Structure 1
């Protein structure tokens, strides 16, 4: 092998190694950018999800082999009339918070809280999405009214994304890839967003599944 060929091979290997290292760092940086990143696939069926505060009076919360053993989710099982709730606390953010969640209800029921974004004290909800009668998905406004963002069916996954701007006290709400509400005012003013929760209606035997819960700061 000539020196030129040897040098070219070494240079090529160095370039390839450099590309791999950059790629690895980019992936690590991307993963590190999430405040919350939970898909429950690595958790045992029936386990309580790590890092969540759980209220399950009259029901239970656990990881479920749904839709499959490989693709698990979190089930809030409500067999009665109690509130079954999960809460996740994360580092408080005063800028823009992007939250994503997948939601499925086996049986259509109103007033299930799909997701709320809360202040760090968990006392005030900046953003509040829930199911409403007539199989509707809706955003709760500051005056207590609701703005519908779409219909839903039992047994179907729905993916939500919320882009919440704390400085502006407004949010963009996406259902799937479609922007449903643009710059809608927060339900209540907050100085920071530092938690999310989801819970069952509290008025009937209805549960729901959650999956792919992600929170990031922009």
Structure 2
């Protein structure tokens, strides 16, 4: 932008549909000859001016709502600067990066705004001092609500603490063709568990539970321990009408 006037400014601007959420504006800026009050970037919405970055006292600076300034970096004539302004419309704050370095975080808006639909850059208007703008980029991140696990209905719950030590557990099905299934006082008499003791070289021992068909998201939760490690133990195997899955010990 070549400014040849002593009293009027030269401006470049871009309008777009109103944006919400988190909006990022990036550009490259250079002043061939330094002059204060050049608007590197001014951001507007339907409510007015929300953010201003300009040259001030030899620096690129962020303009606060009380018209004071936060210096971001000293300006050198003829040098390019990468400027990035991240505008959080929900939090009503901005963060400014210069040359990919965070210089100002969570600064307040110059004026409150609910949307952004316009940006501009213009010369000081008080002398023939121009500046260069390049690589302008505007992007939007609409905030996504964190996914919350639904509170499901417990279909079956069993801790074996009410069962008798040395006997088969209740409310589950056992197959003892290869050994025995019994309640044990492990890790303690108050916190019992079930031991699947396999005494066969070729037949396994099974504990299972059947229930009505379930759909949607189903969670299976249990504790597992092996006194002596062996491969191919089925920790949990889940079956349905057409699909199944395994979690097993594997070398």
TM-score, normalized by length of structure 1?
0.63
Give the corresponding residue for 1:131: 55
CA RMSD of aligned residues (A): 1.0
Q: CA deviation at 1:174?
A: 0.2
CA offsets per residue over residues 130-166 of structure 1, 9 Å max, x none? 0012x21100000111110110111110011111001
**Equivalence for 1:205:** 128
> CA offset at residue 99 of structure 1?
0.6
1:79 corresponding residue in structure 2: 4
Choose which of 95, 100, 114 in structure 2 pairs with 1:191.
114
Give the structure with higher Rg (CA).
2
Which has the larger helix fraction? 1
Q: What's the TM-score once normalised by structure 2's chain length?
A: 0.55
- Residue of 78, 93, 103 corresponding to 1:180: 103
Counterpart of 1:73 in structure 2 is none
Matched, 1:96 2:19: no
1:56-75 aligned within 5 A = none
Aligned length: 140
Q: Answer yes or no: is 1:116 the counterpart of 2:42.
A: yes
Deviation by residue 1:59-102 (Cα, 9 ceiling, x = unmatched): xxxxxxxxxxxxxxxxx110122111111001211211011010
Could you tell me which residue of structure 1 aligns to residue 32 of structure 2?
106
Aligned to 1:3: none
**Alignment partner, residue 154 of structure 1:** 77
Task: Give the CA deviation at 1:117.
Answer: 1.1
Moved over 6 A (4+): none
Which 5+ residue runs of structure 2 have no aligned equivalent?
A: 142-251
Q: Does 2:87 align with 1:164?
A: yes
Give the superposition deviation at 1:127.
Answer: 1.1
- Say if 2:67 is the partner of 1:144: yes
- SS of 1:77's partner is coil
**Partner residue, 2:231:** none
